[in-house]
Amino acid sequence: MSQRLIFPFTSGMIICGYKTLRYKSYWGFPHYGIDISSYQGGQTTTDHIIRASGEGTVVWSQYDNPSSGAKSLGWAIAIQYNDCISRDGSVKSFVARYMHSPKVYVKKGQRVKAGDPIADEGN
């Protein structure tokens, strides 16, 4: 059965999307995702827990410690979500990454459901 993914915060906003070549030259890699925050943009919530966006499997949960000298992303999680209904109505699977967390609640191989707490929001 297909699933529609949910927003990973009870209250938050998208604060930026794809970034420029200046970002790549500073950080050393392109930014193809979106940044979502429950702290920034005038949010008034006290709930800063990141929640799973759907049913999936944690494929990565560890501290990012790059050997290349790049800046660390902090604690990071990757979750594979299968059978997701995309914007055009097709069904696809993909991996979502959640980064910059000071604390994570899930381990590699763990199954999650939509709304399960997976990490605390960092910056």
**What is the average pLDDT score of the chain?**
84
pLDDT of residue 6: 87
Which residue is associated with the tokens 């594979």? 80
To the question of pTM greater than 0.75 for the whole model, the response is: yes
pLDDT of residue 122: 80
Q: Give the model confidence (pLDDT) of 35-48 as tens digits.
A: 777 666 556 667 78
CB 13 within 8 A of CB 41: yes
- CA 116 vs CA 5, 21, 122: distances in Å: 13, 35, 18
Confidence of residue 91 (pLDDT cuts 50, 70, 90): very high
Indicate left, alpha or beta for 8 from its phi (over 0: left) and psi (-120 to 50: alpha): alpha
Which residue is associated with the tokens 């800063």? 48
Can you tell me whether residue 12 is helix, strand or coil?
coil
Mean pLDDT of 65-91: 86
